[in-house]
Structure 1
Amino acid sequence: MRVLVAPDKFAGTLTAVEAADAIAEGWRRRAPGDELDLAPMSDGGPGFVDVLHATLGGELLGVTVEGPHGERVPATVLLAGDTAYVESAQACGLHLIEGGAEHGSTMGVGELVAAALATPATTIVVGLGGSGTNDGGGGMLSVLGATSDGVMEVGGVNLHTVTSVDLAPARARVAGRRLVAATDVDIPLTGLFGATKTFGPQKGIDEDLLVELDAKLEQYAAAVDRRLALEKGAGAAGGLGFGLLALGAERVSGIGLVADAVGLAERARAADLVVTGEGAFDFSSRSGKVPYGVAEVAAEALRPCVALAGAVLVGSREMRALGVESAYSLVDLVGEEIAFADPAGSLADLAERVARTWSR
């Protein structure tokens, strides 16, 4: 039997590569004769560059950029053929923030894009997801040359000071390159389903600040281009999607881009079963997340898809609406404490159990 193993990261515990290896280890215990094809995935968030490098090869260029609070942090640019890939979470990820995301800056993402511009790449892809910022890409734009009459550089709390923005210098800097924003969500910048209201609480922003910060983003958007604020993906990574769209970027699905890069459709057609996974499998997985994207590819190949997750937070009806035949939970198998203490071992144990049902 041929099994395609295509998980996302298990946030905070396992990278996508580690998750794929753990699933394979457990599966082989139960079904050593099965042929496993490992295809670690990403939706544009943490692990985006590592996943693409594992498949595409290429050259990793180490750089040091400004973190969300002004500290210097390590990051990489992947140069593969004529395309440079960067991962915004390396510069402004949730793991880097202290306190609420309202004070986090995306200046480091601007430095990453600048590093990519210094390569011969004709296309620059920015993976968006897992950010610890909410500044509408203001920090990134300022590093690339945009100017304003207010403060864009030090987080969303100051965006109300911005009433006009000159994007011409930043647009000139990226001219002649194809700029791509690979997003994990398709939300707008502001409003009830925008960046602040949807993801602010997960980023440590106090509930009583959400309306105020959203209003500041609205004013900033009016100074840049209010129309772009409504575009799909504008709210990705705390509004980094909006900043990239303002520079003329093309927005694509992060999971779609990675799936194409790793040849997922062809590999699914060659498999009998597709296995995916992520830390928390819930209905938000439908908005550009890896399990839904992998399940779509499996469905097009007429192959069943099952999911392994830290926690499964949907019922069977919702699961099937996401294209997944069955989903299995680490927490249900071993308990939350053990799942976090030994995530790789627990995931391997879960995969072994799933193989009992699904392997021939």
Structure 2
Amino acid sequence: MKILLAPDKFKGSLTARQVCDAMTEGVRLAHPDAEIVALPMADGGEGTAEILTLTTGGEWITIPVADALGRTVQASYGISSDCRTAFIDMSQASGLRQLQRSEYNPLKASTFGTGQLIRDAISRGVTQLILGIGGSATNDAGIGMAAALGWQFLDKSGHPVQPCGEALRQIDQLIPPALPLNLTVDVACDVTNPLYGPNGAAFIYGPQKGASAGEVEELDQGLRHLARVIHRHFGIDLADIPGAGAAGGLGAGALFFLKATLKEGVNVVMEQTHFAAHLQGTNLVLTGEGKMDHQTLQGKLISGIARQAQKAAVPTIALCGTLEASPDDIKALGLTAAFSVLTHPQSLDEALSSAYEAVSHTTFNVLRLFIRNAD
């Protein structure tokens, strides 16, 4: 029997690798002779670069860059073992994770540090980039990233503009770098928001990055202005492209400055980990995440895993900490079943500390039942 383990992290308790380890223990208890393929997964959000680096046997590189507010921090990214592909999470340099809540300020925040990571990867000879854009602290439409890669932004007087959110409305000219990027870029993007407007980057995500109502309006006007300038000078309309508003407009910035392709995050990860190939000859897929609810249907990891496995007629069972998905949700996902690993009432701290054992035990019970039904 071949069993493919393809879980996401259980946020706050277990990494995806640790979930795989716990599942492996449970499988061995239930079926010592099973063939196990452990494939830690991610959905394109924070942690995706590390997972892809691990999966490809690559190297994890740490360099000094600017955080979202311009301070020097240590940020990391991965390069595949063949040295051709870089895996970068923008949150490593330009994410909320680098800031205290009292420091959140999308007017001042910049993606310059993300551009520094990309620049370093290019200097090492990579020709492909997988860019995850979850967890951003910014609303600069990627102009900070572009500035680090050689773009210049000038106001009406020809003076340089500081590449951050509050400066978007000042931009009158965009000057490309002398040499174009020799880079193919795929962006893992799980949202479909346009660049600006009521459903755009500033209005939907600005408040959680610290923007007041007035600042949200200012940021939205800046995004509108930049889009008009780009359309006027380059003939490219970024406004309504689904995903353009992701990560404070970095979706649009990646499209324009990097000539990137926006892809559903889980599909990017499944492509890079060769998930479809691993499905061949598989009898059961075990996946999971910390919490399953109605949002799991909206392009999250389990949705993508179940969809792909269903096409291959492979049953898929999901384990989770909190199970709030309804029976209709579980059927809509294409899952065979879903189980919570929590077996008795307990505090959050207890649940987090016992997660490894809980995943292992639940895997054992699920697999015993699956084997019996298969026989």
TM-score (norm 1): 0.86
- Superimposed CA distance per residue, residues 8-37 of structure 1 (whole angstroms, 9 cap, x where no aligned partner): 222333322222222222343344343321
**2:360 aligned residue:** 348
Amino acid at match of 2:271: D
Q: Does 1:39 align with 2:45?
A: no
**Aligned-partner residue type, residue 348 of structure 1:** S
| 2:143 maps to which of 138, 144, 148 | 138
CA radius of gyration, larger in? 2
Q: Conserved in 2, the CA contact under 8 Å of 1:234 and 1:240?
A: yes
Q: How many residue pairs align between the two structures?
A: 356
Q: Does residue 1:223 correspond to 2:229, yes or no?
A: yes
- 1:38 Cα offset (Å): 0.7
Q: Is the contact made by 1:280 and 1:312 (CA closer than 8 Å) also made in structure 2?
A: yes
What's the counterpart of residue 251 of structure 2?
241
Task: Give the 3-state SS of the residue equivalent to 2:263 in structure 1.
Answer: strand
Give the distance between the partners of 2:37 and 2:268, measured in 1 at CA.
19
Tell me the distance in 2 between the aligned counterparts of 1:162 and 1:325.
54
Kindly report which structure 2 residues correspond to 1:1-360, keeping only aligned pairs within 5 A, or say none: 1-71=1-71, 72-81=73-82, 82-99=84-101, 100=104, 102=106, 103-149=108-154, 153-154=163-164, 156=165, 158-159=166-167, 161-169=169-177, 172-200=178-206, 202-203=208-209, 205=211, 210-225=216-231, 227-247=237-257, 248-330=259-341, 335=346, 336-360=348-372
Closer, same or farther in 2 for the Cα pair 1:38/1:120, shift >3 Å? same
Deviation (angstroms), 1:122: 2.0
Give CA deviations for 1:223-249 in whole Å, capped at 9, x if unaligned.
344721322222233322211101211
* Distance in 1, Cα, partners of 2:131 & 2:220: 24
| 122-131 or 207-216: bigger deviation | 207-216
Contact 1:101 1:205 in 2 (8 A): yes
Helix, strand or coil for the counterpart of 2:238? helix
Larger mean CA deviation between 34-43 and 290-299 belongs to 34-43
Task: Provide the C-alpha distance between the structure 2 equivalents of 1:195 and 1:23, rounded to a whole number of angstroms.
Answer: 38
Aligned partners of 1:201, 1:339: CA distance in 2, in Å? 31
Change (3 A) 1:13 1:358: same
CA contact (8 A) 1:61 1:79 kept: no
Deviation digits for residues 40-71 of structure 1 (CA, Å, limit 9, x no counterpart): 11222222222222222233333222222333
Deviations 1:71-110 (A, max 9, x none): 3123123144322222222212332232236253211111
1:273 is displaced (CA, Å) by 1.2
**RMSD after superposition:** 2.8
CA distance in 1, matches of 2:318, 2:115: 36
In the alignment, residue 254 of structure 2 is paired with which amino acid?
Answer: L
How far does residue 331 in structure 1 lie from its aligned partner after superposition? 5.4
Q: 1:337 to 1:227 in 2, by over 3 A?
A: same
Counterpart CA distance in 1 for 2:189 and 2:342 is 29
With 185-194 and 300-309 compared, the bigger mean Cα shift is at: 185-194
Give deviations 1:257-281, integer Å, cap 9, x for gaps.
Answer: 2212222112123211111122332
Gaps of 5+ in 1: none
Inter-partner Cα distance in structure 2 for 1:258 and 1:36: 20
Amino acid at match of 2:190: D
- Which shifted more, 159-168 or 80-89? 159-168
Tell me how far 1:206 sits from its aligned partner: 5.6
Which letter does structure 2 place at the counterpart of 1:341? Answer: S
Q: Are the equivalent residues in 2 in contact too, given 1:144–1:173 (CA < 8 A)? A: no
Structure 1 runs of 4+ off > 6 angstroms?
A: none
Secondary structure in 1 aligned to 2:224?
helix
Q: Secondary structure at the match of 1:230?
A: coil
Change (3 A) 1:24 1:114: same
8 A contact 1:186–1:287 mirrored in 2: no
Q: Distance in 2 between matches of 1:234 and 1:194?
A: 8
1:140 counterpart letter in structure 2: M
Amino acid at match of 1:109: T
What CA distance in whole angstroms lies between the structure 1 residues aligned with 2:70 and 2:217?
A: 26
Structure 1 residues 152 and 321, CA gap change in structure 2 (3 angstroms): farther
3-state SS in 1 of match to 2:322 = strand
Stretches of structure 2 that go unaligned for 5 or more consecutive residues are: 156-160
